[in-house]
């Protein structure tokens, strides 16, 4: 159960981080975050944390699964 929660948190961080990066870069418009370097950097950090969480969760899952 905890693995699914970790995976969900990681995927959410990936998606939110990607949106924030795109908003910060000015690709996605219509927000106060559009074109702001701060939101680009926050999004990049969020995206990278999401990558680490998803990678760690999938590695942990692969190690614990029984081999056939």
pLDDT tens, 28-65? 999 999 999 999 999 999 999 999 999 999 988 777 76
Residue 11 lies in a domain: yes
Identify the pLDDT of residue 62: 73
Q: Does the pTM of the predicted model rise above 0.85? A: no
Number of structural domains the chain divides into = 1
Residue 15 is assigned to a structural domain of this protein = yes
In a domain, 67, yes or no: no
Burial (CB < 10 A; 0-12, 13-18, 19+), residue 21, is buried
Is the residue at 23 inside a domain?
A: yes
Domain, as residue range, for 23: 2-61
Q: Average pLDDT for residues 16-26, to the nearest whole number?
A: 96
Confidence of residue 2 (pLDDT cuts 50, 70, 90): confident
Which comes out higher in pLDDT, residue 22 or 62?
Answer: 22
Domain for residue 68, yes or no? no
């Amino acid at each position: 159960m905890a693995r699914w929660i970790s995976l969900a948190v990681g995927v959410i961080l990936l998606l939110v981080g990607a949106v924030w990066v795109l908003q910060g870069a000015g690709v996605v418009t219509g927000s106060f975050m559009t074109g702001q370097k701060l939101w680009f950097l926050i999004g990049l950090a969020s995206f990278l944390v999401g990558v680490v969480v998803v990678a760690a969760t999938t590695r942990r899952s692969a190690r614990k699964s029984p081999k056939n």
